[in-house]
Structure formats: C-alpha cells, structure tokens
Amino acid sequence: MMPGETHSAAPGTAADLSRCQGCASLQQNLNEYVEALITLKQKIINTDNLLTEYQKKCDELQFARRENSTLHHQVEQMLQKISPLQKCQEELGSLKAELEEKKSSLKLYQDTHQEYTRVKEECLKTDAQKKKLEAKVKKLEEAAVKQTQDFKQLKNEKKILEKEFKKTQERLDEFSKQKNEKELRHIGTQISSDSYGSIDKSSLFAA
C-alpha cells in the first residue's frame, strides 16, 4: 500500500484480502526500497567519507608539496650557505696544513737555533781556551826571547871571560916562565958558587 492510500472497503471481503496481499507485497517492496535507500545512503556516506578523506589527502599532499618546495628552497639556501662554508673548510684545511708545515719549520728552526747556541758556546769556550793558550804562548815566546837575549848575553860574557881567561892564562904562563927562568938562573948561580967553593977548598987541601 502506497503512502496516502486509504482503506475504503470493509475488511473481510475478497477484495480486502487481495488488497492486503498487495499491501504486503507493497510493504515488502517498500522495505526493500527503504533498505536500498539505506544502503545507498550508507554508500553515499561512505563515498562522502572517502571524498572527505581524499580531499584531506589532497590537502595533505598540497601541504606536503608546499612543505617540500619550502624545504627544497631552504635546502638550496643552505647549500648556497654551505658552499662558502665548504670553501672555508677547504681553506681551513689548507691553513691547517700550512700551519703544521710552519710548526715543523719552527721546530726545525728552534732545533737549529739550539744547535747554533750550543756550537756558539763551544766556540766561545774554544775562543777563551784559545786566548788562554795564546796568552800562554805569548808568555812562552817572551820567555824564549828573554832566554835568547840572556843566552846571547851569557855568550858574550863567555867570550869576554874566555878572552880575560886567555889573557890571564898568558900572563900566568909568562909569569911562570919568568919565574922558572929566575929559578933556573938562581940555581945556575948557586951551582956555580958551589963549584967555585969546592975548587978553592981542594986547592987549599992540596997545598
């Protein structure tokens, strides 16, 4: 029975029964129609939910795209900033290497300077010893010169003494010769006197 229809005949007749059967069929169709509507409504609701979810996903995708674009732009900006930073890091690496080289050179210079200082001190010590030796050699040379002068003086004095000794020896020899001659003459005179006295005594005894 469709909505709006009224029951005009009294119940209990064949027409009523036929109408009841039609109503039951109509009610069944109506129920099926309602169920179909409910199903369709549920499908519409589900479709609307899907559309809403899809729209949400689309919005999220758009937001993600905007975020991606923003991030991409930020990444490009960071890369632009990082590029000089990388260059600075490369320069820093070069500077570090140069610094290490300078440190090595400085250490080598310090070692060389220490070696130079040590050698210089040894040279100063050697110079001091050299000066001492030179002073000693100078003293020895002065002593040698003095000894040479003393030797020359002694040699000259020796020559003078030898001359004086020679003269004195000659004088002594002359004096000794003269003395010997006097003694010989005296002895000869004494012998002559003794011989003359002996002759006179002999002639006296003979007479």
Taking residues 151-170, report their average pLDDT.
86
pLDDT band at 204 (very low <50, low <70, confident <90, very high): very low
Count of other CB atoms within 10 angstroms of residue 23: 16
- What integer pLDDT is reported at residue 31 of this predicted model? 86
Write out the two tokens for 22: 């039609």
Query: Exposed e or buried b for every residue in 105-126, given b needs 16+ CB within 10 A?
Result: eeeeeeeeeeeeeeeeeeeeee
Which residues, 6+ apart, have CB-to-CB distance to 10 below 8 Å? 16
How far apart are the C-alpha atoms of 195 and 189, rounded to whole Å?
A: 10
The pTM assigned to this predicted structure is 0.31
How far apart are the C-alpha atoms of 33 and 193, rounded to whole Å?
A: 222
pLDDT band at 1 (very low <50, low <70, confident <90, very high): very low
Count of other CB atoms within 10 angstroms of residue 135: 10
Three-state secondary structure call for residue 163: helix
Taking residues 180-196, report their average pLDDT.
72
Three-state secondary structure call for residue 5: coil
Q: What is the pLDDT of residues 139-150, one digit of tens each?
A: 888 888 888 888
* Cα–Cα distances in angstroms (integers) from residue 184 to residues 58, 171, 180, 192, 197, in the given order: 177, 19, 6, 12, 20
Please report where in the chains the tokens 């000894």 appear, as a residue: 147
pLDDT band at 88 (very low <50, low <70, confident <90, very high): confident
Cβ proximity of 26 and 1 under 8 Å: yes
Which residues, 6+ apart, have CB-to-CB distance to 26 below 8 Å? 1, 2
Q: What is the pLDDT of residues 126-139, one digit of tens each?
A: 888 888 888 888 88
